[in-house]
Chains A and B, each alone.
Chain A
Amino acid sequence: KAGVTQTPRYLIKTRGQQVTLSCSPISGHRSVSWYQQTPGQGLQFLFEYFSETQRNKGNFPGRFSGRQFSNSRSEMNVSTLELGDSALYLCASSLAQGSEKLFFGSGTQLSVL
């Protein structure tokens, strides 16, 4: 069974641009969560999607958004990029909403110049 797949693996953008990251969950998993990981702040929860609806949201500005498709694949978008958005963005899937056991992908490393 394939794990969580995130694309692209690396991304370089400049300030003010927008970016879209993609996540394919484990087959059969219906919940997708996104986390931001930085050396200073560690892992911080962005949001969770289940059945194409955002079920839970962390403390991030509205520039961070996401969506989930009917096949459970998810995308997250960051608009008007800032230098501080440079981070590893991790996607995790689980069987059900609010499930405690998350399976993480390898992440997308975003660098904002």
Chain B
Amino acid sequence: GESVGLHLPTLSVQEGDNSIINCAYSNSASDYFIWYKQESGKGPQFIIDIRSNMDKRQGQRVTVLLNKTVKHLSLQIAATQPGDSAVYFCAEIQGNALNFGKGTSLLVTP
């Protein structure tokens, strides 16, 4: 069946560098995507969302890019900080529920 997936299970970056987390989706009808951050022992926390009529959306230190042609979205984190260490999930609306990817673990090293 159609699903949302992630390219890399783990990503290690140095503090201060920019991070890019990628996500591929297969449902071309998907029109809404969300990125969540999950820290150890906590539930997922909303970071940023984007609709399919947009290519880019910016938040505070985060940017989401959507490429509908190749069905790919990415989350860019500027000046990555130790507090950014977490698992990041992309999710798409499927029916009336969110379909989550498997997640990418981001580790920020000093």
Q: Which residues of A contact B (CB under 8 A)?
A: 4, 33, 35, 42-45, 48, 55-56, 58, 90, 92, 97-98, 100-107
Contact = CB atoms under 8 A, between A and B. Distances in A.
B100 A43 contact: yes
A43 B32 CA distance: 18
B58 interface: no
Given A100-B34, A100-B49, A58 B43 contact: no
Give the interface size bracket for B toward A.
20 to 34
Given A90-B43, A92-B43, 12 more contacts: A4-B43, A33-B97, A42-B89, A42-B100, A43-B91, A55-B96, A56-B97, A100-B49, A100-B93, A104-B45, A105-B43, A106-B42
Given A48-B97, A56-B95, A56-B96, A42 B103 contact: yes
A104 B49 CA distance: 16
B11 interface: no
Contacts of A103: 46
Interface string B27-41: 000001010100001
A45 B97 contact: yes
Nearest to A91: B43
B56 to A, nearest CB: 19
B68 interface: no
